[in-house]
Amino acid sequence: MQRRTLDLLFSLGGLALAGLLLVVGLVLTQNANFANNYVRDQLSEQHISFTPADKLSDEEKKSACLVEYAGKPLTTGKQAECYANEYIGLHLKSMAGGKTYADLGAPQSELKAKVAQAEQTNDPALADLQKELAAINGQRETVFKGETLRGLLLTSYGFSEFGVKASQGALAMYLGAALLLLLSIAGLVHGFRTPKSETFGAPEPARTA
């Protein structure tokens, strides 16, 4: 096979592959933009803002991201992760002794049973039991709302990470396309400079003594 033909074939194949990588990169970029814009729009609609720096508690000031985002509106996935784990998570731990919504279910059920029994027996401790039940009902409802909001924010963060990975993949595709383009151009230049008569892998003529 002629060397020029081989160079042209490899170069044209490289150009086709570079075009394919470029298309894949554009698709990944579009997906990344969609993820980022969707997360930003959804979070912006919630009108959540971080606590200003001068109003942060001593515990909250220990969190680097709460200090960094202090006073700013919550609009990005990384901010959602910070707010969910460092702000909501911190306050949930200090509420109800760190118990979760599921943990509070058993003591709530026990208090309901005690209140029902006290009502039947006219137990003088009924008022105190009702106060305890009201308190645990409020705690469980608050914890439920906090855990729900925390889960939604972490879902937004996870969705935003898909956008980050898509951006990284798009960058890799663009770099690969650029490299193939340069190699293909170099191959075309070499091919046109190569004499038509030159063949690839032709045996060297035997040397005479």
Exposure string for 40-62, b = 16+ CB within 10 A, e = fewer: beebeeeebebeeeeebeeebee
Burial group, residue 132, by CB count within 10 angstroms (0-12, 13-18, 19+): middle
Q: What is the mean pLDDT of residues 123-129?
A: 88
Query: pLDDT-based confidence at 12, cuts 50/70/90?
Result: confident
**Residue 123: predicted pLDDT:** 85
Compute the distance between CA of residue 197 and CA of residue 209 in angstroms, rounded to an integer.
27
Query: pLDDT-based confidence at 98, cuts 50/70/90?
Result: confident
**Residue 189: predicted pLDDT:** 78
Kindly tell me if the per-residue pLDDT of 155 is higher than 60.
yes
The string of pLDDT tens digits covering residues 45-96 is 989 999 999 999 999 999 999 999 999 999 999 999 999 999 998 888 887 7
Sign, CA dihedral 184-190-193-199, equals negative
Interaxial angle between packed helices 126-193 and 105-121, expressed in degrees from 0 to 180 and rounded to the nearest 10: 160
Q: What contacts 70, CB < 8 A, 6 or more positions away?
A: 50, 51, 52, 53, 56
Lowest-pLDDT choice from 98-112, 121-135, 187-201? 187-201
Kindly tell me if the per-residue pLDDT of 168 is higher than 70.
yes
Do the Cβ atoms of 166 and 32 come closer than 8 Å?
Answer: yes
Q: What is the mean pLDDT of residues 146-175?
A: 93
